[in-house]
Amino acid sequence: MKVIHSISLPILILILLLNACKSREDIKYQRGVIATEAMVVSVDELASQVGYDVLKKGGNAVDAMVAVHFALAVVYPYAGNIGGGGFMVMRTHEGQVHTLDFREMAPSEADKDMYLDENGEVIKDLSTRGHLAAGVPGSVAGMTAAHDSLGSLPWAELVQPAVELAKKGHAFSEKEVKELNKKLGAIAQYSTQPNEFTQKTTWAAGDSISYPDLARTLSLIRDQGAAGFYEGETAEKIIAEMEAGNGIMNLLDLANYQARWRPPITGTYKNYDIISMAPPSSGGIALLQLLQMVSAYPLEDYGWQSPEATHVMVEAERRVYADRSKHLGDSDYYNVPMDSLLDPAYNLARMADFNPERASLSKEISAGNFQLFESDQTTHYSIVDAQGNAVSVTTTLNGGFGSCVVVGGAGFFLNNEMDDFSAKPGHANIYGLIGAAANAIEPGKRMLSSMTPTIIEKDDELFMVLGSPGGSTIITSVFQAFLNVVEYDMSMQGAVSVPRFHHQWLPDSIRYEKGAVGGDTRSVLQAMGHRFDGKPVPVKGCVNAILVLSNGKLEGGADPRRDGVAMGF
Ligand code: DON
């Protein structure tokens, strides 16, 4: 008090301002949880704990992945799943890379026009709610395929913690009940049988829930592997649910589902080697295109979220998302021009018309009507084991609680991933993303994703493991989190915590979080012709990441936007 009395008002204001700046700066460099041997970062404490326990007893990163995945299916029903799908990128401690696609696929009776009315218009909610919205789930096949090839501990031991969690139950957090209460009406409407979620009309933070039906389903998976889900009792329950709700998935669709090992998407940014996911995710290609496009510009000198750096990044994003809408889809069904898109010469040429003074315009036939997050949920977890094997997994039901259909008697949500297809050329999906023939619906085809599970090497050693949820903003969240570390010297925790911005070509505007592109950046960019979404949006991505520090220790970056927890030893 005495000090304050003795200084003048302008100096006091200056001190307060400097302190405010300093505390903002602190976020950037604040270290997350540090571990010396192994680490898991996921969106939920109980799931991270399950992964930690597996690592601690000598399980490898894939073992921990299996345990975390099934645990999330219990404690994080918004996005953790057995009724959804995802992608895994894995790097062994010896530098071998494995990438696994366990994305959902369109049922055999799906049709390109299945969401259109007789006038060719998209029928509202049909691809996002209810039985027709669901693709054939891939998660269980993904976990068994990864474990068969790369796991070390017995399968049953890894699924058991999830069985126990389902029996015992867990308490909802504040963030979780907020999302759940918003969807309870839809869950009651679209599920044909009563379920654990609809026991109450409103849930409060701290309320406990247990899942006897899910415990039974998980115990079948524990005992029979993939057959415990894609055949027999659970498959029959899924199909009974489909029949009761006029869905089209059938027993053969389930029996035929296969996870697929894909060649990784690889490339470089300065002295970093990037390893990411190939189609049917657009994530790897788009991330590398972005990095190639910005690599010619001195982002570090420009400064973090400075007008110059933001301008370059936004212009790159505009071009990459335009490419995504036209060229990306399931490469098993569509000839994705991967080599061209990943050609540095092509990406440099794409920036040839970049004007450092002016924003370009995203001209396109029909601008996407960007509906802001209707509580979308995906989740990403990153794991490094004591040997140095790394796993990066992004998994989802698509929207929060997927299709809002709980499989009667089996206790889990089915995804609404069919909305990630292009229901009609030029029609925006729930993320405002527009697609074309490359991503049209076909039986057995996998819908295009933005999921970007990524592993980065430096000098041939593991450097970073990261990924994010966030629909269309996944790619730009991963892009920024990586650049925050390598260009702006942030800690891993800082890099995931600082506010982000996003441009996706259409709509032609920059979305930003509170605190992002601050100072004079917004006004300078506006003067250059950039448009901004009216208000900052509260959530963009949720990057759960691990950084290998120069002393060899691991730093976890758990995104504070959700309830993420890093644990290591
Ligand atoms: O695969 C995709 O790109 C979307 N289904 C991801 C959805 C998502 O990230 C929602 N999360 N916030």
pLDDT in tens, 306-350: 999 999 999 999 999 999 998 999 999 999 999 999 999 999 988
**Stretch 537-553: mean pLDDT, rounded?**
91
Q: Tell whether ligand 1 has an atom less than 6 A from the beta carbon of residue 419.
A: no
pLDDT tens-digit map of 211-257: 999 999 999 999 999 999 999 999 999 999 999 999 999 999 999 99
Give me the pLDDT at residue 364, please. 42
The confidence score (pLDDT) of residue 533 equals: 78
Residue environment code for 264-300, b if the CB has 16+ CB neighbours within 10 A, otherwise e: bbbbebeebbbbbbbbbbbbbbbbbbbbbbbbebebe
- State whether the beta carbon of 86 lies less than 6 angstroms from ligand 1: no
Ligand 1: centre distance to CA 540 (Å): 11
- The residue contributing the CA closest to ligand 1 atom 1 is 449
**Residue-by-residue DSSP string for 352-409:** TT--TTS------SS-------SSEEEEEEEEE-TT--EEEEEEEEEETTTTSPBPTT
Which residue of 175, 376, 430, 439 sits with most ligand 1 atoms within 8 Å of its CB, as the best mutation to test the pocket?
Answer: 376
The pLDDT of residue 368 is 26
Q: What is the mean pLDDT of the chain?
A: 93
Per-residue pLDDT at 165 exceeds 60: yes
Average pLDDT over residues 20-24: 51
pTM equals 0.94
- Which residue stretches of 401-460 are H helix? none
378 is catalytic: yes
Q: Measured from the CB, is residue 51 less than 6 Å from ligand 1?
A: no
The answer to whether the beta carbons of residues 381 and 40 sit under 8 Å apart is yes
Our answer on whether the CB atom of 474 is closer than 6 Å to any ligand 1 atom is yes
Cα dihedral across residues 442, 444, 445, 446: positive or negative: positive
Look at the block and give the residue holding tokens 């220790």: 553
